[in-house]
Chain A
Amino acid sequence: MIDRILNIDRRYIFAVIFVVVVWALMADRPIQVPISSPVQDVFDFMERVAQIDDHPPTILISFDYGPGSDAEVQPMALALLRHAFSKGVRVAGMCIWETAPGLAKAAFETVAPEFDKKYGDDYVFLGYKSGGIAVVLNMGQDFSLAFPADAYGNRTDTLATTARISRLADFDYVITLAAGNTIDQLWVAYGQDRYKINLGGGVTAVMAPDMFPFLQTGQLNGLIPGLAGAAEYEKLIEHPGEATAGMLAQSWTHIAIVLSIVFGNVAYFISRRRDREV
């Protein structure tokens, strides 16, 4: 019996996970989302950027994730754009990840109409550039060398959002939304260290533990980790979205997995004791 429990067909486990997720998504129950300090730091810095008055505050968001991380990082992108647009901050978007442009465009097209923002004057999509490190280095020295035009061929020096940008450090805040090592290997190492930019990050939960050394040193001045982090940011901007809607299902699935780990270990120790007695 114990052996059957320990070696259960994995498809039963798949079915349990599926049922838990679907049931939790369909349940209608409010859930409290406490705010963690790295997420608060991103929010606070954005608030400070919005208060700049000697020039139009402009931020750069680097969309460095693909559809495989869409569910975690896209809500962050939407929340950041809502925050920026609600405070009158201009946004330039770019991609170093080749599968990101579709998601970046979708984010802008979802949020910009909510605030009547105009392309060119309030936001710009610069598109994708290959070369990784080389893109960041080019931007650091001469922005127009990296992005002479936006994704649609409009010269960046003719667009109001990017007209005054001559190098990376001219952006008041750079936020990288990353699913891979672009955040530390590119932006922290080459962007933040060389050009002393203000750098914030939004990452998938997989990468979050690796980012804490950079938070402590101040190389990252804030971090939004995973879906939970996105839900926290949505709470801060008082606009619950997909991340908040997913937290109930996230919580229940975690509980199911923890219970399965505990159950599996209990069964294991019982079988080990039985084997010793035999």
Chain B
Amino acid sequence: MPRSLDRWLFITALALFTVLSVWGVATGHIPLGSAKGWGTLLAAGLTLAIYSFLYKDNPLFKFAEHVFIGVSMGYTLSQVWFNVVVNDVVTPLRNWSQTETWPLALIFISVVMGLLILFQISQSMSWVSRTPFAFVVGFGAGVGIPTVIAAFLLEQMRPSLAPLVADEQYAVLISVLLVGALAFAAKTEYLMDRSHRAVQIAIGVALASVVAWLGYGGHSNLLILVGVVSVLVYFFFSVEHTGTVGAISKVGIWFLMVAFGASFGFTIMARVSILIGRMRFLLGEWLPILG
């Protein structure tokens, strides 16, 4: 695209922004005499500057991006400073006569160790920061072990240890037959050999129908167990994925594809929601279009 076109586009965009903002002010929608009014105009300008990236990367976008970086650093610093440094360190130390000895000692130890961490900045003295890092990382690693075992391993395995089928034993029989058929088919390479495509499709459809019927019919624990085991088998790379292991890991891939499809669908939903939020701001708070 020629630069003159870009220049005209920039001037047109700027003019349009000015006209629309004047419209918002003239209709009384944006109270220009207040911090809120000027803030709304600034926010709208920055929003549109960032959206200009959709056309192509340009100085307006870079301007907004770098202002954002600076303000975000300042904001993070302010939250950490007031909520932690002032409330948890400065205020108790200021009122030291009303604070008990051991909490004061804890604050003192914490501050000293915190200051030692800042030695990471120095080239020659950065080894001083190793001790506080070792403290935090080592302690965190230790605390995490029993928590992960209890909350993620044992607790997540618990539902899979519940009885799979309530009162329909034939469903178990079908499952056993299915797994047996699957293992046989895998052993004779039916599942792996491309020339048996029709057999593969037939087995796949039959499997999917029965398993879905099992799962949809309320025996979802069985299906979930099948899914969890097959996904774990897929990620076990110490054994070659051929034969029965290959067949089971193939089933695991199918479950993973459903999960990734779900994640993709939900990701689209999330991003669209944020876009809707920004459009509502532009059309409702900047411009007097939405109620």
- Listed in ascending order, the chain A residues whose CB lies under 8 Å from chain B are 11, 14, 17, 21-22, 25-26, 68-72, 98-99, 101-102, 127-130, 133, 137, 148-149, 151, 153, 188-190, 192-194, 204-206, 208-210, 213, 216-217, 219, 225-228, 242, 245-246, 249-250, 253-254, 257
Contact = CB atoms under 8 A, between A and B. Distances in A.
Contacts of B268: 254, 257
A209 B156 contact: no
B276 to A, nearest CB: 4
Contacts of A149: 87, 91
Interface of B: 54-55, 72, 75-76, 79-80, 82-84, 86-88, 91-92, 140, 143-144, 147-148, 150-152, 155-156, 158-159, 259, 262-263, 266-270, 272-280, 283, 289-290
A72 B273 CA distance: 6
Contacts of B263: 206, 209-210
12 contacts: A21-B276, A71-B276, A99-B75, A101-B79, A127-B87, A133-B143, A189-B151, A189-B152, A209-B266, A213-B156, A249-B272, A254-B272
A193 B280 contact: no
A178 B149 CA distance: 23
A189 B143 contact: no
A188 B159 CA distance: 17
Contacts of B270: 69, 72, 204-206, 226
Nearest to B147: A189
Contact of A242 (B55, B84, B280, B283): B280
Contacts of A148: 87-88, 92
Contact of B148 (A189, A213, A217): A189
Given A98-B76, A228-B269, A209 B92 contact: no
A69 B87 CA distance: 28
A250 B269 contact: yes
Given A11-B54, A26-B289, A219-B151, A205 B267 contact: yes
A246 B270 CA distance: 12
A63 to B, nearest CB: 12
Contacts of B143: 133, 137
Given A14-B54, A127-B87, A129-B84, 6 more contacts: A26-B283, A71-B274, A127-B79, A219-B151, A242-B280, A249-B272
A188 B151 contact: yes
Contacts of A70: 274, 277
Given A189-B151, A206-B270, A217 B158 contact: yes
Contacts of A257: 268, 272
Contacts of A25: 276, 279-280, 283, 290
A99 B72 contact: yes
Contacts of A228: 269
Contacts of B150: 193
Contacts of B158: 217
Most chain-A CB neighbours within 10 Å: which of B76, B87, B280? B87
Contacts of B283: 22, 25-26
Contact of B267 (A128, A194, A206): A206
B275 A21 contact: yes
Given A246-B280, A250-B272, A99 B76 contact: yes
The 8 closest A-B pairs by CB, nearest first: A71-B277, A205-B270, A193-B151, A227-B273, A205-B269, A205-B266, A189-B151, A127-B83
Contacts of A137: 143
Nearest to A134: B140
Contacts of B262: 209
A184 to B, nearest CB: 8
Contact of A227 (B83, B91, B269): B269
Contacts of B273: 71-72, 205, 226-227, 246, 250
A120 to B, nearest CB: 16
A70 B259 CA distance: 25
Contact of A246 (B75, B76, B267, B277): B277
B272 A253 contact: yes
A192 B79 contact: no
A188 B151 CA distance: 7
A129 B269 contact: no
A17 B143 CA distance: 47
A194 B147 CA distance: 8
A227 B276 contact: yes
A153 B83 CA distance: 9
Contact of A226 (B75, B83, B88, B269): B269
A17 B283 CA distance: 16
Given A149-B87, A228-B269, A72 B274 contact: yes
A10 to B, nearest CB: 9
A208 B264 CA distance: 11
A104 B142 CA distance: 33
Given A217-B156, A254-B269, A71 B151 contact: no
B140 A133 contact: yes
A206 B273 CA distance: 11
Contacts of B80: 98, 128, 130
Nearest to A150: B87
Nearest to B56: A11
